[in-house]
Structure 1
Amino acid sequence: MALLAFYAPFSSARLQYIARLIFEQHLGLLLHVLSSKADFLAYSGPKLAYGKLAESPLFIPKVTAVLEQEDIRPLPAIVWQMDQNNWPFALAAKGGIIHFDLLSLAFLALSRYEEHLPFEEDPHGRFSAEQSFFAAYLRRPWLDYHFNRLGELLVQQFPALKIKALAYAFLPSYDIDFAYKYKGLPLWRQAGKLLKNAYQRPKELKRQLAVLVGQEPDPYDVFSHLAKAHQSLGIAAPHYFFLLGDYGPYDKNTPWKAALLGRLIQGLQQAGNQIGIHPAYAGDWGEQIKRLAFWTQKAPKKSRQHFLRLRFPQTYRQLMALGIKEDYSMGYAANIGFRAGYSRPFYWFDLSENEEKELKIYPFALMDVSLKNYLSCSVETAKTLSDQLLAELREVSGSCISLWHNSSFDAAEGWAGWTEFYLDFLKRAKKNELI
């Protein structure tokens, strides 16, 4: 690990967090923090300061006091510009190795600062993408780019400095809201579906009966097909998040005690897939974690919120209290892209407690229902948008986590053509690793 001397005229938990994230976690450097400007100026090796220095150009400008503060205040004024490579930046200033306050801007985005301020909730109590201070650039991993660019500028100043080599990576993940459409349902739910199909969808009634007598596979039972697709492309350890809450308006999975569901979970686990919890819209998350542990014989460490209902700081604190170490909810339902402006995993900073936590956040880049339902994409438009997203990620050597549902392969529910799209997307997303 190469050494980088770092100086700032103040010390704070926020500054330490964002400096470690950029320089150590992303660039792979070892920070050597200097306590005085004189020591910094006298240091002859690779170095960088935060805050303007009259004696040296080796600094990142400090435009706001957000990294010095310990409370949550209104956002500073943020005016976006484009750099020479057509990537967005804000908090501009003159001088320095990079001409804007990257540390403050990155902290505001990664801490989800704006989501701790008052906002207008959507019908599910969520912060919406259009309210974000970088809504116009949501589909661009702009922090990945600027962190990489900062590394390049440091190497230009110090050619012997070794920056960590980053590589694009792809991980498919699945939310299992409904393990099966018909199999494993209790009698009263099965009867309700039979009556509804009899009155409204006679073709679907015929299929339901065929599934129940074993003449056709359940429409949502696509797990073996996914396994074959993953294997053929060399995709290892996809993630599956299971909803195990009690039945309710937004929680309608196969009953958690059903042996059919248990065999599915155990089979996926034994095949090398990663199994996580999908905390229900309602109910006791701790009890749901125990239910998953009943089938897997170990407490889950990975989680993704049902309906992506993420509230700060409550959701992450509750997950941590339940032993969750990794969360995969960092994304929007109504749009694709990067909720925190960054594609790679990072540790959560609890603004209310003003400290970095052990919970690791894994952002996802795109979701099936975002494309089809929220953005009303045709299959062709979805391919164009996903290609653009993959190209951006390839450019910055970023991380692409996709979010799909096993129920999104059922043509009878409006997903005609999307199975072919997804299988092609897997190929395109995986191919990026070989470029």
Structure 2
Amino acid sequence: MLLVYTHKITPRVKYVFKHIVARILGVPVSFTTTIETFIAHDSLKISYTKQPLSHEIFIRSHDLLFEQGLSDLDIHVHDWEDTKGFFPAGDKSVLQYDIFAASFYLLSRFEEYLPHVKDEYGRFTAEESLAFKNGFLQQPIVDIWAYKFKKVLQDHYPGFTFPKRNYHVKPVIDVPMAYDFKQKGIMRSIGGTLGDLFTFKFKKLYHRYLVLFGLKRDPYDTFKYILNKQKQSQFKFIFFFLIGDYSTYDKNININKASFVSLIKHVSDYSIVGLKASFFSLTNFKVLKKEKEKIETVINTSLIASRNSFSKLNLPESYRNLVELEIPEDYTMGFVNHIGFRAGTCTPFFFYDLDYEVQTPLKVFSYNLLDYSLLKVNSLLDKKKVLLEIIHQIKSVNGLFVPVFHNYTFSDIERWQGFKELFNLIIESPNET
């Protein structure tokens, strides 16, 4: 066990030390404000305060973990060996920067509470983030810092054996629309037909009616292929089905259709099924609650995970709603157009409510890559290169890779050519050295 001496034990101190020490490094952590208790401890120990007590491992603390609410922070990011750092800790500190305060800033999403420019969907964008502006978005910087801290502990306690964690993958299959043509109803099929005619998409019209007459498989119906991949894989995929009402933003199949219910039940026999919360449920608690109850009726078990439509997060409201509905996991945190680490980590973490100064039970699985972000990369070779780089970053800290692919990504539609190969590369990555 690591014992931390500090002048004040705050919820912020406990939260971030537990993420870095317990979740990333796998070592239990405890805290004390009593010098005698600290001196008597005969295993790993550090002091985290303003001045060292003696010759112990000392990290000078920034004020952030001892404050409450939001404050206007003046942050200057500097190069630090193979990464970046901020909140300088001074000469006496064993680490050049206060990695605990800096990690809290990233994990709590402090910057998303501050004034910022949103995109057309009301989302916090990568370009607004400290990580993007300072060139560390594509590094799991919190985990990298944790390993720097581990090195310090190993140097001082060479006899201590740290548990080893392994790199693993948790593929997310997002299903905003289970079928492109099937099960849409007469009015939507007529509307689609007219749309194809007026936009001269005659090839699409031809395929539409091959599917409707049962002569061809719907292009979005890739579930058999994905489930076969699941069976060959060493880990379970998690599917998120959109079941909200039809709207401008959400256009899936009606949840009252027996064939759609049957599909969700079939997938839940082999994989984990979560809720893709509809766009309007993000601002309406009653709608979200109704969607949760509907999908629980279908899968016949308690809902364990959700993911928001359009990857939209309104902090802290979005996460408070999930906490109130007792949904334990969220997979929304990430950037649609950029690959990387929105919260700076590739280790699942708990949502910290900055208004109430409390760690909540909601575990956040921040995704690192959305298939759409790879469309911006030109050739398949370049896509592989980008993908291998993010895998390398996560493997270097033995973290969790959370990629998000859609059901239609596995179709034969031209823009998604080569994506099956990219997905294979991901699910086989734990076997590659």
Q: Shared fold (TM-score greater than 0.5)? A: yes
Name the SS of the counterpart of 1:251 in structure 2. coil
Deviations 1:48-90 (A, max 9, x none): 111231622411122x31111111111232222122xx12222
Identify the residue that residue 348 of structure 1 maps to in structure 2.
351
Change (3 A) 1:380 1:181: same
Deviations 1:191-226 (A, max 9, x none): 111222234211111111111111111100111111
Identify the residue that residue 73 of structure 2 maps to in structure 1.
75
The answer to whether the 8 A contact 2:222-2:411 is kept is no
Identify the residue that residue 94 of structure 2 maps to in structure 1.
97
Identify the residue that residue 61 of structure 1 maps to in structure 2.
60
Instruction: State the Cα distance separating 1:422 from its structure 2 match.
Output: 2.9
In the alignment, is residue 365 of structure 1 matched against residue 362 of structure 2?
no
Identify the residue that residue 189 of structure 2 maps to in structure 1.
190
Query: Where does the alignment leave 5 or more consecutive residues of structure 2 unmatched?
Result: 282-286
Identify the residue that residue 206 of structure 2 maps to in structure 1.
206
CA separation in 2, counterparts of 1:11 and 1:337?
32
In the alignment, is residue 431 of structure 1 matched against residue 428 of structure 2?
no
Deviations 1:337-394 (A, max 9, x none): 110110011111110100111001111110101221xx35432222111110011111
Change (3 A) 1:410 1:44: closer
Q: Which amino acid is 1:30 matched to?
A: P
Q: Which amino acid is 2:347 matched to?
A: R
CA separation in 2, counterparts of 1:423 and 1:161?
38
Identify the residue that residue 308 of structure 1 maps to in structure 2.
311
Instruction: State the Cα distance separating 1:146 from its structure 2 match.
Output: 1.4
The answer to whether the 8 A contact 1:57-1:97 is kept is no
TM-score (norm 1): 0.93
The answer to whether the 8 A contact 2:170-2:237 is kept is yes
Identify the residue that residue 230 of structure 1 maps to in structure 2.
230
The answer to whether the 8 A contact 1:61-1:99 is kept is no
Q: Which amino acid is 1:130 matched to?
A: E
Instruction: State the Cα distance separating 1:42 from its structure 2 match.
Output: 5.3
The answer to whether the 8 A contact 1:9-1:37 is kept is no
The answer to whether the 8 A contact 1:57-1:95 is kept is no
Q: Mapping of 1:137-152 within 5 angstroms?
A: 137-152=136-151
CA separation in 2, counterparts of 1:28 and 1:235?
23
In the alignment, is residue 280 of structure 1 matched against residue 278 of structure 2?
yes
Identify the residue that residue 284 of structure 2 maps to in structure 1.
none
CA separation in 2, counterparts of 1:236 and 1:166?
16
CA separation in 2, counterparts of 1:252 and 1:96?
55
Instruction: State the Cα distance separating 1:243 from its structure 2 match.
Output: 0.6
CA separation in 2, counterparts of 1:73 and 1:239?
38
CA separation in 2, counterparts of 1:382 and 1:116?
33
The answer to whether the 8 A contact 1:26-1:164 is kept is no
Q: Which amino acid is 1:371 matched to?
A: L
Identify the residue that residue 417 of structure 1 maps to in structure 2.
418
Select 1:15's aligned residue among 13, 16, 19: 13
Name the SS of the counterpart of 2:30 in structure 1. strand
The answer to whether the 8 A contact 2:23-2:347 is kept is no
Change (3 A) 1:123 1:156: same
The answer to whether the 8 A contact 2:306-2:331 is kept is yes
TM-score (norm 2): 0.93
CA separation in 1, counterparts of 2:399 and 2:3?
26
Q: Which amino acid is 1:205 matched to?
A: L
CA separation in 1, counterparts of 2:330 and 2:404?
13
In the alignment, is residue 122 of structure 1 matched against residue 119 of structure 2?
yes
Deviations 1:402-432 (A, max 9, x none): 10101223444632333333334433x3434
CA separation in 2, counterparts of 1:417 and 1:36?
60
Change (3 A) 1:322 1:377: farther
Change (3 A) 1:25 1:430: closer
Q: Which amino acid is 2:406 matched to?
A: H
Identity of aligned residues (%): 26
CA separation in 1, counterparts of 2:56 and 2:99?
15
Q: Mean alpha-carbon deviation: is it higher for 198-207 or for 164-173?
A: 198-207
The answer to whether the 8 A contact 2:337-2:370 is kept is no
Q: Which amino acid is 2:423 matched to?
A: Y
In the alignment, is residue 133 of structure 1 matched against residue 134 of structure 2?
no
The answer to whether the 8 A contact 1:57-1:96 is kept is no
CA separation in 1, counterparts of 2:420 and 2:377?
17
Name the SS of the counterpart of 1:24 in structure 2. helix
Identify the residue that residue 293 of structure 2 maps to in structure 1.
290
Select 1:323's aligned residue among 304, 316, 326: 326
Name the SS of the counterpart of 1:278 in structure 2. strand
CA separation in 2, counterparts of 1:176 and 1:412?
16
CA separation in 2, counterparts of 1:264 and 1:417?
26
RMSD, aligned CA: 1.7
CA separation in 2, counterparts of 1:21 and 1:416?
39
CA separation in 1, counterparts of 2:162 and 2:393?
21
In the alignment, is residue 241 of structure 1 matched against residue 253 of structure 2?
no
Q: Which amino acid is 2:403 matched to?
A: S
Name the SS of the counterpart of 1:396 in structure 2. coil
Q: Mean alpha-carbon deviation: is it higher for 408-417 or for 202-211?
A: 408-417
CA separation in 2, counterparts of 1:425 and 1:298?
29
The answer to whether the 8 A contact 2:140-2:394 is kept is yes
CA separation in 1, counterparts of 2:229 and 2:358?
42
The answer to whether the 8 A contact 1:126-1:310 is kept is yes
Select 1:87's aligned residue among 83, 92, 104: 83
Instruction: State the Cα distance separating 1:281 from its structure 2 match.
Output: 0.6
Name the SS of the counterpart of 2:388 in structure 1. helix
Q: Which amino acid is 1:127 matched to?
A: F
The answer to whether the 8 A contact 2:323-2:360 is kept is no
CA separation in 2, counterparts of 1:376 and 1:152?
36
CA separation in 1, counterparts of 2:388 and 2:312?
27
CA separation in 2, counterparts of 1:90 and 1:351?
20
Instruction: State the Cα distance separating 1:43 from its structure 2 match.
Output: 4.1
CA separation in 2, counterparts of 1:32 and 1:173?
35
